[in-house]
Amino acid sequence: MLGRITFLLIKLRILQPNKKILNGWTRNSDAKKLRFILKYGDYKTRPIAAIALADIDDKSSIPLLLESIDDRIHHVSITALNALEQLDTEKETSKIITRKRFYWTELLTKKANTQKKKRGKANIYKWERSSKKTFDMVKERLKRPIRW
């Protein structure tokens, strides 16, 4: 009875689930509640729910895990991919997982390269500009005679 009240309070967003509650649902193999948390939970509980669904071997949660791959929170996406790998029974799912990981790798390398290029050009330009002014100033001062 207490478990039903707790789930109702979580559904109404009055109470936030914690690890203890999710571990209890995992032990009881309560996939319905874990799927709800994966879909509507906060960023801390969604990865735990994804792992729990894989641990209880719930094949009906595969479509929900596929949706979770495109989550805004990167940690949730990675956890959903890992859970899908654990539940993988078909070759198609593993192809989707491989494509998604390859896409993330490409995205990270492109981002790092663009940041490196921007940073390198800006620093060199500033350095050349300031040193040229300093060099010209020193050159002009050396041309002047020394007065005592």
SS3 (DSSP) at 146: coil
Q: What are the pLDDT digits (tens) for 98-141?
A: 777 777 778 778 877 787 776 655 544 454 555 666 777 777 77
| The last residue of a domain, from among 54, 70, 89 | 89
Q: Is the domain of 127 the same as that of 148?
A: yes
Mean pLDDT lowest for which of 49-53, 74-78, 121-125, 135-139?
121-125
Determine contact, residues 105/86, Cβ cutoff 8 Å. no
Q: Can you give the CATH number for the domain in which 67 is found? A: 1.25.10
Structurally, how many domains does the chain consist of?
A: 2
Q: pTM, whole model, 2 decimals?
A: 0.61
Rounded to an integer, what is the distance from CA 1 to the centroid of its chain?
A: 37
Give the length of the chain: 148
